[in-house]
Amino acid sequence: MYEKHLMICGATGCLSSGSQSVEQALIEELEKRGIRDNYRLVMGGCPGFCEVGPIIVIYPDEVLYCRLKPKHMAELVEKHLVGGEIVEKLLYKGPDVDVPARFYDTIPFYAKQKFNVLRNSGIIDPESIDEYIMRGGYRAFTRSLEMEPAAICEEVKSAGLRGRGGAGFSTGLKWEFTLNAVGQKKYVVCNADEGDPGAFMDRSILEGDPHAILEGMLICGRAIGANEGYVYCRAEYPLAIKRLKIAISKAEEYGLLGENILGYNYNFKINIKEGAGAFVCGEETALLASIEGKRGMPRPRPPFPAQSGLFGKPTTINNVETLANIPLIVKEGGAVEFASVGTEGSKGTKVFALAGKIRNTGLCEVPMGITIREIIYDVGGGIKGGRDFKAVQAGGPSGGCIPAEQLDLPIDYDSLNKAGAIMGSGGLVVMDERTCMVDLARYFLSFTQKESCGKCTPCREGTKRMLEILNRITEGEGKPEDLDILDSMAYSIKDSSLCGLGQTCPNPVLSTIRYFRHEYEEHINNKFCRAGVCKALFNYKIDPETCTGCTVCARACPVDAISGEKKLPHEINLDLCTNCGSCIEKCRFDAIIIKPVGREADVSN
């Protein structure tokens, strides 16, 4: 019998902040005292709050300790586990709380969140099927065994669930098409090829609650008449793959996968396919080609996968987060409950990955319809370092940016589309005044250009030409006509590309031109990048009024370009300076300013 359960976050975020050495130190401390067996340690799923990792949550006490280091473990064991006293200094502290917060319910990051998809993450042991079942797992699946396939599709449709992977198509309708397609053999495919740079929710769900995905696939198989499924998962996610494999073998052992499941006339097996690194494989027809062992190139639709998919058979392809919602919808009364959250056109919750220049980085799950302001300021805690919010990029390389004027935009599929962004997979990358929007557009396009599979000309050639123009602009060689050319090329590529990659890849360029045209014009006409990113388009200067002569910048400079006496204003030798930015990062007095090249007099920052 365990006295307490300690959930140690074992997701990538906390691993990179050192959760493994924290666990090691904890085990050593417990062993030293001979009390190791009294506690259950679970390297479990993710509470989402990567910013303050590594995190340990202790049950049944309901205490969340954060920012842990191995050296804290002796005190944690001594005081909390042995002494029964809370170690206040390891609780969550921040500018948004008056007193250290002890658990989810008092930490502001969680206040506006609603856990559907992340319901088990960080609570159960992802490697234990029993814990999933105890939390109501596989109940929806057993209910679906008593239902007609068409009725299951109908329920998912009535819940209003839309695909969480990108375009937001109705999941129930997709299932119905596959159900109605002619053919004996059908497939369920789970798209776990999360490739959007800036999104990591699928990874977290797979690592934290793998059985939810299996249950979603089982219900889908039942609904469309399939008896085989594939999970196509990125090879870059080894822990997710390991946990899926464990989950599959446990489900087989329990008779939830295999032949005549639970005595019903229903067979289902699940295979895992590891992706080999190609962003375009997030596109459904490319993903299917890859499972078939071919180059992952898309093909024209129709025929849609619902008619002719994997190995030419009718196939439903759903994203990880979509499938994780399914058990909640198909459980008794679930569809109505699901539809009661969200907006008219977008039901339920959505998981967002908060990253970039935001204080609380991590994963959050919020009801659809919440405003961007609420996500960034209430959940995300505002901008890092107290700088001004500039824009947020929603939907990765297929999406667009949303500027400060639109902070009150509600987050749902349709509002985001109207604003020129997309829901995509739910990556939200926050930018402040030190982010250059032209460079950002260039960055996204260089990504999509590299990932273009090369099959269709508009995408293969078009992205390359657009990238050349953007490179020129960021190097100071932009021409006034460039903006019109970019605009017209963007629409040609959108209209004529074969797949979603090409059709959406100009979005970041279009949306940055739409909201930050002045920044492009400043790059082109004034040869100035006021964010201090495009190296050819600015110089650093030390403001003699503000500089205190603390010498920190001079010591940080890798090329010894900064000189000056202690306690006297310093100076930068522009002949030596490489614009590496080490000084501006280190300066605590904002004394280093960004100014246009070669115009000494004009410091109009």
Interface with another protein includes 362 (CB under 8 A)? Answer: yes
Q: What is the 3-state secondary structure (H, E, C) of 77-131?
A: HHHHHHCCCCCHHHCECCCCCCCCECCHHHCHHHHCCCCCCCCCCCCCCCCCHHH
Crossing angle (nearest 10°) for helices 238-253 and 201-208: 40
Chain positions 401 to 430 lying near another protein, rule: CB under 8 A, are: 427, 429
Structure tokens at 474: 């960021």
- In the complex, what is the shortest distance from the CB of residue 469 to another protein, in angstroms, rounded to a whole number? 19
Closest CA to 411 of 356, 367, 381: 367
- In the complex, what is the shortest distance from the CB of residue 28 to another protein, in angstroms, rounded to a whole number? 20
Query: Please, which residue, 289 or 370, has the CB nearer to another protein?
Result: 289
Query: Please, which residue, 345 or 581, has the CB nearer to another protein?
Result: 581
**Alpha-carbon gap, residue 115 to 101, rounded angstroms:** 19
Closest CA to 574 of 541, 552, 527: 541
Interface with another protein includes 199 (CB under 8 A)? Answer: yes
* 8-state DSSP, 297: -
Interface with another protein includes 109 (CB under 8 A)? Answer: no
Interface with another protein includes 119 (CB under 8 A)? Answer: no
When binding is defined by CB under 8 A, the residue of 63, 320, 323, 431 that contacts another protein is 431
Structure tokens at 191: 């798209």
Interface with another protein includes 510 (CB under 8 A)? Answer: no
When binding is defined by CB under 8 A, the residue of 83, 95, 255, 277 that contacts another protein is 277
Side-chain-side CA neighbours of residue 246 (13 Å): 17
Interface with another protein includes 82 (CB under 8 A)? Answer: no
Structure tokens at 58: 């202790």
64, containing H or E segment: strand 63-65
User: Residue 552 contacts by C-beta under 8 Å, 6 or more apart in sequence?
Assistant: 586, 587, 588
Interface with another protein includes 16 (CB under 8 A)? Answer: yes
Chain positions 288 to 317 lying near another protein, rule: CB under 8 A, are: 290-297, 311
Which residues are registered as beta bridge partners of 187? Answer: 228, 315
Interface with another protein includes 361 (CB under 8 A)? Answer: yes
**Alpha-carbon gap, residue 587 to 554, rounded angstroms:** 10
When binding is defined by CB under 8 A, the residue of 274, 433, 521, 543 that contacts another protein is 274
Structure tokens at 421: 């962004």
The answer for 105, left when phi > 0, alpha when psi is -120 to 50, beta otherwise, is: alpha
Q: Where are the beta strands (DSSP E) in 262-309?
A: 269-275
Interface with another protein includes 51 (CB under 8 A)? Answer: yes
- In the complex, what is the shortest distance from the CB of residue 416 to another protein, in angstroms, rounded to a whole number? 17
When binding is defined by CB under 8 A, the residue of 203, 331, 350, 494 that contacts another protein is 203
User: Residue 238 contacts by C-beta under 8 Å, 6 or more apart in sequence?
Assistant: none
When binding is defined by CB under 8 A, the residue of 12, 308, 316, 415 that contacts another protein is 12
When binding is defined by CB under 8 A, the residue of 123, 317, 355, 366 that contacts another protein is 355
**Residue 101 φ then ψ, to 5°:** -95, 140
Closest CA to 469 of 504, 445, 450, 496: 445
Query: Please, which residue, 159 or 531, has the CB nearer to another protein?
Result: 531
When binding is defined by CB under 8 A, the residue of 10, 13, 208, 420 that contacts another protein is 13
Interface with another protein includes 126 (CB under 8 A)? Answer: no
Interface with another protein includes 15 (CB under 8 A)? Answer: yes
- Alpha helices by DSSP H, 411-456: 413-418, 437-451
When binding is defined by CB under 8 A, the residue of 447, 515, 520, 538 that contacts another protein is 447
Collapse the DSSP code of 226 into the 3-class scheme (helix H, G, I; strand E, B; otherwise coil) and give the result: coil
Interface with another protein includes 560 (CB under 8 A)? Answer: no
Structure tokens at 604: 């109009």
Query: Please, which residue, 160 or 396, has the CB nearer to another protein?
Result: 396
Binding part of the chain for another protein, among 65-73, 319-327, 391-399, 414-422 by CB under 8 A, reads 391-399
Cis peptide before 100 (omega within 30 of 0): no
- In the complex, what is the shortest distance from the CB of residue 510 to another protein, in angstroms, rounded to a whole number? 17
For residue 534, how many other CB atoms are within 10 A of its CB? 21
> How many residues sit close enough to another protein to count as binding (CB under 8 A)?
61
Query: Please, which residue, 327 or 502, has the CB nearer to another protein?
Result: 502
User: Residue 61 contacts by C-beta under 8 Å, 6 or more apart in sequence?
Assistant: 4, 80, 86
- In the complex, what is the shortest distance from the CB of residue 14 to another protein, in angstroms, rounded to a whole number? 9
Binding part of the chain for another protein, among 22-30, 102-110, 215-223, 230-238 by CB under 8 A, reads 230-238
Interface with another protein includes 117 (CB under 8 A)? Answer: no
Interface with another protein includes 237 (CB under 8 A)? Answer: yes
**Alpha-carbon gap, residue 116 to 460, rounded angstroms:** 40
- In the complex, what is the shortest distance from the CB of residue 430 to another protein, in angstroms, rounded to a whole number? 9
276: amino acid identity, one letter: A
- In the complex, what is the shortest distance from the CB of residue 393 to another protein, in angstroms, rounded to a whole number? 6
Query: Please, which residue, 25 or 286, has the CB nearer to another protein?
Result: 286
Binding part of the chain for another protein, among 11-19, 84-92, 213-221, 564-572 by CB under 8 A, reads 11-19
Query: Please, which residue, 101 or 533, has the CB nearer to another protein?
Result: 533
Interface with another protein includes 97 (CB under 8 A)? Answer: no
The overall longest dimension of the chain from CA atoms, in Å, is 84
**Alpha-carbon gap, residue 472 to 157, rounded angstroms:** 48
Interface with another protein includes 196 (CB under 8 A)? Answer: yes
- In the complex, what is the shortest distance from the CB of residue 402 to another protein, in angstroms, rounded to a whole number? 14
What residue ranges bind another protein (CB under 8 A)? Answer: 12-13, 15-17, 50-51, 194-200, 203, 235-238, 273-279, 290-297, 311, 353-357, 361-363, 393, 396-397, 427, 429, 431, 435, 440, 443-444, 447, 451, 453, 558, 580-582, 585
